[in-house]
């Protein structure tokens, strides 16, 4: 079964699960509608995002659209188990402003992966998704997670349950192992192939090239640090505070971008697309205007001299 077309601009939905701050239903719908109006047809979600809230909101929106007109992916590896005792507190330990009325339980077994997908489909209100990713196997226990999870997701594809399978992670070790396995169609590389950091260049991209694995570049703003023209010490980095040396590097990059008349977020969005294996850039948004702004940035002119200058200053890898 052929891997579906993704388009250069995809919408990630962690923000619609109330990551960092609450987002109302109307605002979430406006984000999704703005993405659709901008031509986005690939939407990525996960049970992890707001303990299922992002999946439910995305599903409610997609009910209004023809199923043949979009591509949707979700993730497996974490099951959501009811936890009534947590309902009185928020899921802030994982960064989500939602009641902690469920808890995440790791399960990369074949049965667990199929159960996860079935429960995601119920939350989405869909009969199928197009792509399933193993989600953060490195945060559990990488070797057993891959030993169980890779053949399990490959079986879903081979049986025609999904069109493509992949692995999504911030871990270069996990991503390289996934590509090297030969079992996957896609990698969702989160934060490791960005204007700020390019460790994927060493191991992951060569393995993808060798095994014909496509790349979905996610986390291109490094959790928010590159999302504004002037990087702020108050921005998120790796879902936490920004180390001073990382902030200094981001500001150096921003200065070079300004010299070429390009704002930092535009360069951040465009950088991974220079690699032919990158099939899409997956970007989240908490407002409709953020979606529209990122869409404009993806169409903005960026002179080749910018990339040369950044490379010559040792700020990006070729």
pLDDT digits (tens, 9 = 90+) for 75-110: 999 999 999 999 999 999 999 999 999 999 999 999
> For the chain, how many helices (H) and strands (E)?
10, 10
Angle between helices 288-299 and 25-37 (to 10 degrees): 20
The pLDDT tens digits for 254-304 are 999 999 999 999 999 999 999 999 999 999 999 999 999 999 999 999 999
Q: What is the mean pLDDT of residues 153-172?
A: 98
Pick the CATH number of 9-223+276-299 from 3.30.43.10, 3.20.20.70, 3.40.50.620, 3.20.20.100: 3.20.20.100
Task: For 16-30, write each residue's pLDDT tens digit.
Answer: 999 999 999 999 999
- Residue 311: pLDDT band by 50, 70, 90 thresholds? very high
Average pLDDT over residues 186-214: 97
- The pLDDT tens digits for 203-250 are 999 999 999 999 999 999 998 999 999 999 999 898 888 999 999 999
281 within 8 A of 8, measured Cβ to Cβ? yes
User: Does 49 qualify as catalytic in the annotation?
Assistant: yes
Among residues 42, 49, 96, 237, the one annotated as catalytic is: 49
Q: What's the pLDDT at 282?
A: 98
Instruction: Band the pLDDT of 3: cuts 50, 70, 90.
Output: confident
Q: Look at residue 2 and tell me whether its pLDDT is greater than 70.
A: no
Q: Tell me the chain's radius of gyration from C-alpha atoms.
A: 19
Packing angle, helices 25-37 and 53-62, rounded to 10: 50
pLDDT tens sequence across 119-150? 999 999 999 999 999 999 999 999 999 999 99
Q: Tell me whether residue 143 is exposed, middle or buried, using C-beta atoms within 10 angstroms of its C-beta: 0 to 12, 13 to 18, 19 or more.
A: exposed
Q: Which residues pair with 245 in a beta bridge?
A: none
CB 26 within 8 A of CB 232: no
* Contact criterion met (CB below 8 Å) for 153 and 165: yes
Q: Where are the domains of the chain?
A: 9-223+276-299
* Inter-CA distances, 129 with 97, 173, 235, Å: 26, 27, 33
Q: Give the model's pLDDT for residue 239.
A: 80
Q: Please say if the pLDDT value at position 1 is more than 60.
A: no
Summarize pLDDT for 4-54 with one digit per residue, the tens.
999 999 999 999 999 999 999 999 999 999 999 999 999 999 999 999 999
């Amino acid at each position: 079964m052929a891997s579906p077309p993704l388009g250069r601009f995809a919408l990630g939905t962690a923000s619609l699960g109330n990551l960092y701050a609450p987002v109302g239903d109307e605002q979430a719908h406006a984000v999704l509608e703005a993405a659709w109006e901008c031509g986005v047809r690939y939407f990525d979600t996960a049970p992890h995002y707001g303990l299922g809230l992002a999946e439910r909101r995305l599903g409610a929106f997609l009910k209004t659209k023809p199923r043949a007109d979009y591509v949707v992916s979700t993730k497996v590896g974490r099951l959501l188990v009811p936890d009534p005792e947590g309902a009185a507190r928020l899921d802030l330990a994982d960064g989500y402003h939602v009641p902690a009325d469920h808890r995440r339980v790791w399960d990369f077994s074949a049965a667990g992966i199929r159960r996860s997908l079935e429960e995601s489909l119920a939350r989405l209100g869909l009969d199928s998704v197009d792509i399933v990713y193993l989600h953060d196997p490195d945060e559990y226990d990488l070797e057993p997670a891959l030993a169980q999870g890779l053949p399990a997701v490959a079986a879903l594809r081979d049986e025609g349950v999904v069109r493509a399978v992949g692995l999504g992670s911030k871990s270069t070790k996990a991503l390289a192992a996934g590509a090297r396995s030969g079992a996957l169609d896609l990698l969702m590389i989160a934060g490791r192939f960005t204007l700020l950091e390019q460790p994927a260049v060493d191991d992951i991209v060569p393995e993808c090239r060798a095994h014909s694995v496509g790349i979905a570049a996610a986390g291109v703003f490094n959790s928010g640090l590159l999302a504004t023209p002037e990087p702020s010490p108050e921005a998120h980095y790796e879902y936490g505070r920004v180390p001073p040396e990382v902030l200094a590097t981001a500001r150096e990059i921003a200065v070079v971008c300004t010299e070429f008349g390009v704002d930092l977020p535009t360069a951040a969005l465009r950088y991974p697309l220079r690699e032919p294996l990158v099939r899409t850039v997956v970007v989240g948004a908490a407002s409709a205007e953020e979606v529209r702004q990122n869409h404009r940035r993806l169409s903005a002119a960026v002179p080749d001299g910018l990339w040369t200058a950044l490379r010559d200053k040792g700020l990006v890898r070729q």
